[in-house]
Amino acid sequence: MAQVKLNAVRKTYPNGFEAVKPASFDIADGEFVVLVGPSGCGKSTMLRMIAGLEDISAGELSIGDSVVNHVDPADRDIAMVFQNYALYPHMTVRKNIGYGLKNRKIPSAEIDAKVAEAANMLNLNDYLDRKASQLSGGQRQRVAMGRAIVRDPALFLFDEPLSNLDAKLRNQMRIEIKALQRRLGVTAVYVTHDQVEAMTMADRIIVMNGGVIEQIGTPSEVYHSPASTFVASFMGAPPMNLFDGHANGSEVHVGSTPLHRHAHQGKVTVGIRPEDIVPDVTGPLAIHVNIIEELGAHRLLHGHTAEQPVTIHVAKDYPAAIGPMTASIKPDAVSLFDTATGRRL
């Protein structure tokens, strides 16, 4: 078990591209941290620096109590699960899981016991003597997990481990991985570009964009109080509504509708989650609905207000109709961003 500390860690690739700008954060012992962001934002690079697969260009990384900038991946007491599983195709499942232990010169009786235990935990008993190349995607995923577990690492690293699975299996594995991590109490860093995975699995989420950390917070913080317009639009499906607004020092207007009280003055971006806009015949917000999206459990209404696009989340029994409607905003549901910087006010 270990905590992880990053102090101004950055990565510049040999071609001069700065994939991770100086990043500092701490991960507590036993915490499940999810790194999330769009493709190419530097998540994998960050994870691979923690793993030791990529040199750290500057800054300091410590795992447990020691700085590990120059420690070999094998000696960092980590285990990693890769997106394509990276199993050794010519080895049996048993050998795949035990290979790391064998290299550590652990007696074979002990390896057998550990492999058996991991196989039990992951329902792999029937496959132990199959070659890795003869397994389905989900089974490979489990073997990759097994390989990580038997090492008893201080830190689990996952790089989009579920993205090659179908949706159903993904949901199932998501829960399983989280439960396993809880049970073993091992610190985990999990990379994904799927914000649902991030929300459901994380103790804390780190949102990255363009090599920069946009926000670090619990899923609820990140969701309800996004630190920037980027986070607001990245997290949540559908994303937060963002309106161009104007603040006059006491009130914030979108179009001519006053929506919020704030002392800021100037151009602002007003963010409101779709579920925080509620149909209300006396509400201040005039909306014209263009499209009704039926999602079974609820409905999404897409339309315009003050000539800006808006999405509203309504209950499945709400009598939605194309055309004008009015709505109000739940109290404390407004996020305000400086339009110029994109940062939260």
Ligand X SMILES: Nc1ncnc2c1ncn2[C@@H]1O[C@H](COP(=O)(O)OP(=O)(O)OP(=O)(O)O)[C@@H](O)[C@H]1O
Q: Which stretch binds another protein (CB under 8 A): 77-85, 111-119, 318-326, 335-343?
A: 77-85
Non-local (6+) Cβ contacts of 45 within 8 A are 11, 19, 20, 54
Which one, 99 or 318, has the nearer CB to another protein? 99
CB of 256 to another protein, least distance (A): 56
Which one, 230 or 337, has the nearer CB to ligand X? 230
**Largest pairwise CA distance in the chain:** 75
CB of 88 to another protein, least distance (A): 6
Q: Does 74 bind another protein (CB under 8 A)?
A: yes
- Contact predicate 236/200, CB 8 Å: no
Work out which of 27, 61, 78, 188 binds another protein, going by CB under 8 A: 78
CB of 337 to ligand X, least distance (A): 24
Work out which of 83, 163, 308, 328 binds another protein, going by CB under 8 A: 83
Distances (CA, A) of 54 to 11, 49, 73, 121, 307: 9, 5, 10, 31, 48
Distances (CA, A) of 217 to 8, 102, 154, 162, 329: 18, 39, 22, 23, 25
Strand partners, 228: 343
Question: Could you list the residues that contact ligand X (CB under 6 A)?
Answer: 13, 15, 17, 19, 37, 39-45, 193
H or E element at residue 109? helix 108-121
Q: Does 192 bind Mg ion (CB under 5 A)?
A: no
Which one, 59 or 283, has the nearer CB to ligand X? 59
CB of 87 to ligand X, least distance (A): 20
* Residue of 147, 214, 153, 221 whose CA lies nearest to 188: 153
* Residue of 235, 255, 267, 258 whose CA lies nearest to 334: 258
Q: Does 45 bind Mg ion (CB under 5 A)?
A: no
- Contact predicate 63/77, CB 8 Å: yes
Q: How is 145-180 classified by DSSP, letter by letter?
A: HHHHHHT--SEEEEESTTTTS-HHHHHHHHHHHHHH
Report the site for another protein in 137-196 (rule: CB under 8 A). 147
Q: How many residues does the chain have?
A: 345
The site partner of 15 among ligand X, Mg ion, another protein, none (C-beta below 5 to 8 Å per kind) is: ligand X
Which one, 79 or 334, has the nearer CB to another protein? 79
Q: Does 80 bind another protein (CB under 8 A)?
A: yes
Work out which of 8, 38, 104, 288 binds another protein, going by CB under 8 A: 104
Q: Does 82 bind another protein (CB under 8 A)?
A: yes
Q: Does 44 bind Mg ion (CB under 5 A)?
A: yes
The residues that touch another protein, with contacts defined as CB under 8 A, are 51, 53, 72-75, 78-80, 82-84, 86-91, 99-100, 103-104, 133, 147
The residues that touch Mg ion, with contacts defined as CB under 5 A, are 44
